[in-house]
Amino acid sequence: MPDHRPLQPVASTPGTPAPARTVTHLTPAERVARGKAARNDTPRGSHGRWAPPDNRPDPVALLEEQAASRVPELVPVRYGRMMTSPFAFFRGAALIMASDLAAAPRSGLRAQICGDAHLSNFGLFASPERHLLFDINDFDETLPGPWEWDVKRLAASFEVAGRERGFAPTARRDVIVAAVAEYRERMKQLATARNLDVWYARIEVEALFAELAVTATKKQQARARATVDKARTRDSLQAFSKLTHVVDGERRIVSDAPLLVPIEDLLPAGRVRDEVEDELRGLIRSYRRTLETDRRELLEGFRYVHAARKVVGVGSVGTRAWILLLLGRDEQDPLFLQAKEAQESVLERFVGTSRYANHGQRVVAGQRLMQAASDIFLGWQRVTGLDGQTRDFYLRQLRDWKGSADIDAMPAHTMALYAKMCGATLARAHARSGDRIAIASYLGSGDVFDRAIADFAVAYADQNERDHQALLDAVASGRLEARTGL
């Protein structure tokens, strides 16, 4: 049987504590000197160069390598989604870019990084206090690593997307420079801030509207407000009305194979639904131990109702992802949780293995470290499938006021504003764990780094187009099978 079968909790503890670290406290002057020394070792302008080395791995082979651990019947869906455009390919090519960045110059300064900081992995979500925030929203690849890798992936994503939108080269460069300059300026500000002020810093949507009122047109402001209003409707109630229906008096998740498949449609021979759903209830009880005490109490007020396998994203397609429907006081009180498989980060082979034995815990720890505020139901679990394979998962709400910018409708000047938001957000996220004083010192007050990253983005977008074509050729030759239109 395929290995996407229902899962059951491992009897051991859900996570392994990270080993203790020894922390060296340098003075601000020593940290400034550290940044300047890094600048001497790796000049800022060196980041602008990119050319594929002679021994560069075959990008299609790297995708095939990832496919080996994924649900076999969903791998063609992943390829089909990546084929649609160079930007769609870029979204699924985090491993390919990590491999390329490993051969590029490094500053030697590290932070907790996203590992997949492209422009579509930023967006809106609700804080526990019900404020709408703008932040990074995908941490599947998070790991300590070179902070500039996130900056380069973000910049390259704007170049790739700008080409897709038909922007002129000068307009694309303006967008990228806006993102990187904002990152540099925000890091400079954060370098002078107190530790607690850095930790509490966040980008609230209402503050963004105040900035937009100064720089954006009335039409841009109205479009932004509409995005925010839509985000506030994207919650468990909205998912409940869209993704469920009543069958024989019971609320059930709808079927839309292969993208959404109820759990009973995936049961192997000899298994009954009640038995499998008892295992899912056990999974929820075990995952609950990874939450804060008050959140455990809240979760206990919900009962499990149904589950389904759901295909998500582009790069994540083929990894195991489940949605779990729970109900509280009645049917008007739903909670949708998403349980998403956490595999080894694409960064690990290049920057070292994770401190955490459980990759779900790795994702959760990285998300809590980088985000200004995280989902109250964010937790992790290790489970064993009926095929005997042990896998790690992280869990969170499926939707909680989630929203994203409509990149396809953005003119260049609006994308530049969005790029600044992403740059500011990334700087804040890196400053929470990295040596913000040393990074700011490395970046300096001039635009040398900004221009270098803009040069890199152009060269790497060219490489991405070649890699996208390699995928198209692999499908055309029969090397890979793809399913399009899903």
User: What type of residue sits at position 370?
Assistant: M
- Residues 103 and 107: their CA atoms lie apart, in Å, by 13
Please give the pLDDT value at position 260.
Answer: 94
Among 8, 3, 18, 6, which Cα is nearest to 285's? 8
Among 103, 127, 93, which Cα is nearest to 468's? 93
Please give the pLDDT value at position 399.
Answer: 79
Residue 74, helix vs strand vs coil: helix
**Token couple for 373:** 């505020």
Please give the pLDDT value at position 331.
Answer: 87
Strands (E) located in 7-103? 7-9
- Residues 440 and 385: their CA atoms lie apart, in Å, by 47
Count, in order, helices (H) and strands (E) of the chain.
18, 13
Low-confidence ranges of the chain (pLDDT < 70): 1-21, 208-216, 269-272, 385-388
- Residues 131 and 306: their CA atoms lie apart, in Å, by 30
User: What percent of the chain lies above the pLDDT cut of 70?
Assistant: 92
Q: How far is CA 69 from CA 297, 309, 319, 341, 464, in A?
A: 35, 16, 8, 11, 24
Residue 214, helix vs strand vs coil: helix
Among 195, 131, 376, which Cα is nearest to 368's? 376
The β-bridge relationship of strands 7-9 and 390-397 is unpaired
Q: pTM to 2 decimals?
A: 0.91
User: Contact at 8 Å (CB) between 63 and 81?
Assistant: no
Please give the pLDDT value at position 409.
Answer: 83
Q: Tabulate helix, strand, coil % of the chain (nearest 5).
A: 50, 15, 35
- Residues 106 and 297: their CA atoms lie apart, in Å, by 45
Please give the pLDDT value at position 5.
Answer: 41
Strands (E) located in 231-378? 244-247, 250-253, 260-262, 303-310, 321-327, 334-341
Please give the pLDDT value at position 272.
Answer: 67
The residues that bridge with 323 in the sheet, in sequence order, are: 308, 338
**Token couple for 31:** 């940290």
- Residues 352 and 330: their CA atoms lie apart, in Å, by 47
**Token couple for 214:** 């100064």
DSSP 118: -
Please give the pLDDT value at position 214.
Answer: 63
Helices (H), 192-272: 195-200, 205-215, 218-231, 236-243
